[in-house]
Structure 1
Amino acid sequence: MNRSSKTRAVSTRWTAVFVIVGSGNAAALQVGKAAIAAPLLQSDFGVGLTAIGWLAGIFALIGVIGGIPTGAFVARFGARRILIIGLLITTAGAALGAAIPGLPSLFSGRIIEGAGFLLVTVAAPSLLEEVTLPSDRDLGFALWSCFMPVGMAVAMLVGPLFEDWRTMWWASGALALAICIAVPLVIPAGGQGRIMSWSGLRRDSMTVAREWGAVGLAITFALYSLMFFAVFSFLPVLLTERLQVTHQTAGLLSALASAVNVIGNLAAGLLLSKGFGRPALLIAACLVMGLASFGILLPMLPDGAAFGLCLLFSAVGGVIPAILLSSAPLVAPAAGLAPIVLGLIVQGNNLGQVLGPTAIGGVLDRFGWGSAAYIVAGAALIAVLVVASTLRQVGAERVNFGVRDR
């Protein structure tokens, strides 16, 4: 292959990577839009923060039970195909919520969006494995791990520009549809799954579920998501009340706080390449998040310092998802089971997304902002114990992507 051909091949691979990451951004935007639209939804439907918490987290309920099965579907039918289906379902859910008046249709649309989110967030990293070279995968997964903070930041930044939440829903659905159209144009068909029986899928799923390292990754991701969304699902409301800023300013500040999460995402790849241990980085990040939550949620610091801790909370926390996602192949019990491990991790992620907004929303309505700090700190402590007990050996040996020697 001559130099120009190699250049074109590299360009094509990275174009595919950015489209895959864009699909995750579109899925994450569906999460963030509920948070930034909270004042509009409260005004339109007359609901409290508990209901807003469910709107922010209800779509992830399907992910709590569907992560491993979705990973099995990806292994069976192919990541590219499932990614396209996921983006189409996301578009349909957004359209349903916007088109039919009433709170029931909005909740139904969020459930459908949750199904799309699940399909996208399991299929996309599996497809990323297919389109990247082994030497590029650490960077590819570091970029993929940015999908949630970038999508959330876009929602926080753009959301206040909409005077009506329904228009916001239509726009988010249109974005998912546009990326869906781009996927088959940029990523060629191939790797469309393995021929295997349904009994084989069940057997592989159970094999992954019994892998303690994979379970540890999933539990840690669940606790991270609980901590992150406990704060960020209500951050615009917190900033509006505490800093006495406008809805638009709260959106801008929340977007900044979400965006700095990318710093941790990208720093994780650099730190791992410098020889830092995965468990040590995870433990340090969890401790920082837990301690920072007290300064954010308790009225013990000046407003500016509290917002500074929001930035620290987000930036340091970004290390966690990047390490967990890139560790999935290291704990895969056999070749070809990485998509199912990713499904289990996404299952944990969705569990945290459900518990974070819903639990914190109820606590806030009953006890106020300060009480939420103890939930976040407790989750951080449990995460430290899980990492210490289940992930001590992750990354301690050189392994092939998707295969670990037994």
Structure 2
Amino acid sequence: MRHDRVFILILWLIGILAAAQLAKIAVLATSLADTFGLSIALTGLLISLLEVGGALFGLAAGMALGWIGARRSLIAGLAILAVTGVAEAYASGAAALLAARVAEGMGYLLVVIAAPTLIAAIASERDRASALSLWSTFVAVGMAVGSVVTGVAFATLGLRGAFLLWSLLSLSAMVTVLRFPAAAPSVRQARAFPDVAAWIATFGFGLYTTFICALTMLFPSFLVERAGVSSPLAGFATGIVALGSVPGAVVAIGLARRGWLDGKRTLAIIAVSLLAAAAAAPQVFAAGSAPNAILWTSAAWALWISFSSGIASPIVFGRLPLLAGARSATDPRIALANGLITQFGAGGALIGPPLGGLVVMGWGWGGLGLLVAALALATMCALVAAELEAAGVVASRAGAGNRSLRERNGQVSTISMRSE
């Protein structure tokens, strides 16, 4: 395996490590609530605080990346994860735990912006789209890995030991990155904002995270309420649904490897995958009255949504450098675009569950299905609009280049005539 592919794989694993911190607190929530006397509201806040940094400072972090360098930012992010893991392990009270979680969120933010920026810088032209599509799976895989590892660590090492294990893993990842040479310039670069197409596409990705988080986060409650299943079984079914996006990403990676993610084919793939998700959304909550039918039928439809929409979302990551208007693999527009996709994605993750809850309160579970369908269609419209905008910009630049070439040729001809 080539060295650049090894580094890409390591960066993907580091992303999984960062995303595992999302699941870490969710698994330990009951023990933390008992230990620190946390209410349900504070426990929920503790879980979601990791995304607050991205929702508020994603673009700012992307701008900072262009100044201090992606590699340094990645090392700093992993260092913060390592330190905050120790702080969480030895927190003396709820306030200290919440403060450590906020700081951990900033480390997470640096990692998830720096890692894809480095992937874009070191991947070959042929591998870049598929490598970034692979990166897009880090949250789903990280949630699954984080849940399993934290559960085992808590059972064998206790609460403090589980926190310290993740701290040690973050430190090991930081040491690994230090052993690699710089993959992109670390000097300050001129700031350049991404093209309009990247703003539209990353907003579309935010719509995607809104509906997929509303679906997956509320799905266990639906199964418990309507199918009468136990919470562990509902959680297991939801975990399978969430992982459905991974084979969707595999499809997107295969398409990228074959060079199919360009022009009209990209538009067709986006439209078909998200239309399929929108059509299935009402069916998730329209199962019959038999508990077993609700469990298996609803889970199958939800899994289909996760899979089909999971084909479209990696395409955003794979084409983000192009949509941003990057002129090179180390163009600072890529870092800013990664900041944007983090900000909109985190915002969607924060908005989705409470928005879905309000819809269920007002219109029942069927209303949630319609909301998911509407947001899937809105996501499709945004991603298609981004592709059309990018195509127009590329055509405009090509036309300007041709005009410039004709003008230079005309100047040469004039000079030649004068010399004669």
TM-score bin (small chain): 0.7 to 0.9
Secondary structure of 1:134's aligned partner: coil
| CA distance 1:60–1:404, shift in 2 (3 Å) | farther
Match of 2:139 among 144, 148, 154: 148
Residue number among 308, 311, 322 corresponding to 1:319 in the alignment = 311
- Letter of the 1:15 partner, please give it: V
Greater shift after overlay, 285-294 or 320-329?
A: 285-294
* Cα pair 1:145 1:321 within 8 Å, conserved: yes
* Partner in structure 2 of residue 260 of structure 1: 244
Are the equivalent residues in 1 in contact too, given 2:11–2:119 (CA < 8 A)?
A: yes
What is the alpha-carbon distance in structure 2 between the residues aligned to residue 52 and residue 365 of structure 1? 22
Residue of structure 2 aligned with 1:287, choices 261, 267, 275: 275
Unmatched runs of 5 consecutive residues or more in structure 2: 402-420
If the length of structure 2 is used for normalisation, what is the TM-score? 0.79
Aligned match for 1:188, one of 178, 181, 203: 181
Is 1:275 matched with 2:266?
A: no
CA distance in 2, matches of 1:24, 1:296: 30
1:225 and 2:209 are equivalent in the alignment: yes
Q: Please tell me whether the aligned partners of residues 283 and 383 of structure 1 are also in contact (alpha carbons under 8 angstroms).
A: no
Q: Deviations over 1:8-36 (max 9, x none)?
A: xx432222111100110011111233444
Once the two structures are overlaid, the 10-residue window that deviates more, 152-161 or 341-350, is 152-161
- Give the deviation of 1:355 after TM superposition: 1.2
Q: Residue 255 of structure 1 aligns to which amino acid in structure 2?
A: G
Write the mapping of 1:8-157 to structure 2, written as runs, cut at 5 A. 10-38=1-29, 40=31, 45=37, 47-48=39-40, 51-157=42-148
Alignment-mate amino acid for residue 251 of structure 2? A
Q: CA RMSD of the aligned region, Å?
A: 3.3
- Give the CA deviation at 1:250: 4.6
- Mapped contact 1:53–1:358 kept (Cα < 8 A): no
- Supply the AA of the counterpart residue of 1:222: G
CA distance in 2, matches of 1:405, 1:118: 38
Q: Summarize the Cα distance change of 1:165–1:368 in structure 2 as closer, same or farther, 3 Å threshold.
A: farther
CA contact (8 A) 2:220 2:238 kept: yes
CA distance in 2, matches of 1:353, 1:404: 40
- 8 Å CA contact 1:327–1:395 kept in 2: the answer is no
Structure 1 stretch displaced more, 349-358 or 166-175: 166-175
SS in 2 for 1:152: helix
Matched, 1:382 2:378: yes
Q: Is the 8 A contact 1:92 1:173 kept in 2?
A: yes
CA deviation vs aligned residue, 1:103-143 (integer Å, no higher than 9, x gap) = 43333233222211211111001111222221222231222
CA contact (8 A) 1:59 1:110 kept: yes
1:177 aligned residue: 171
1:339 equivalent in structure 2: 335
1:305 maps to a residue whose letter is: T
**Are 2:71 and 2:186, in contact at CA under 8 Å, matched by a contact in 1?**
no
Task: Give the CA deviation at 1:331.
Answer: 2.0
1:330 counterpart residue number: 322
Q: Check if 1:359 corresponds to 2:355.
A: yes
CA contact (8 A) 1:278 1:395 kept: no
Instruction: Kindly provide the CA deviation profile for residues 127-162 of structure 1, in whole angstroms up to 9, marking residues without a partner as x.
Output: 112222212222312221221111011133344443
Separation in 2 of the partners of 1:241 and 1:42? 24
* Cα 1:174–1:252 shift into 2, 3 Å: farther
Contact 2:48–2:350 (8 Å) recurs in 1:
yes
Offset of 1:224 from its aligned partner?
1.0
Deviations 1:247-272 (A, max 9, x none): 55455434333323111112113234
Matched positions, count: 383
Distance 1:155 1:363 in 2: 30
In structure 1, distance between residues paired with 2:31 and 2:282? 29
TM-score when normalising by structure 1? 0.81
Q: Distance in 2 between matches of 1:24 and 1:378?
A: 30
Amino acid across the alignment from 1:192 = P
Kept in 2: contact 1:91–1:173 (CA 8 A): yes
- What is the alpha-carbon distance in structure 2 between the residues aligned to residue 271 and residue 305 of structure 1? 29
| Equivalence for 2:294 | 302
CA gap 1:14/1:243 in 2 versus in 1, 3 angstroms: farther
Q: Secondary structure at the match of 2:2?
A: helix
Question: Would the alpha carbon gap of residues 365 and 302 (structure 1) be closer, same or farther in structure 2, given more than 3 Å must change?
Answer: closer
| CA 1:157–1:304: 2 relative to 1, 3 Å | farther
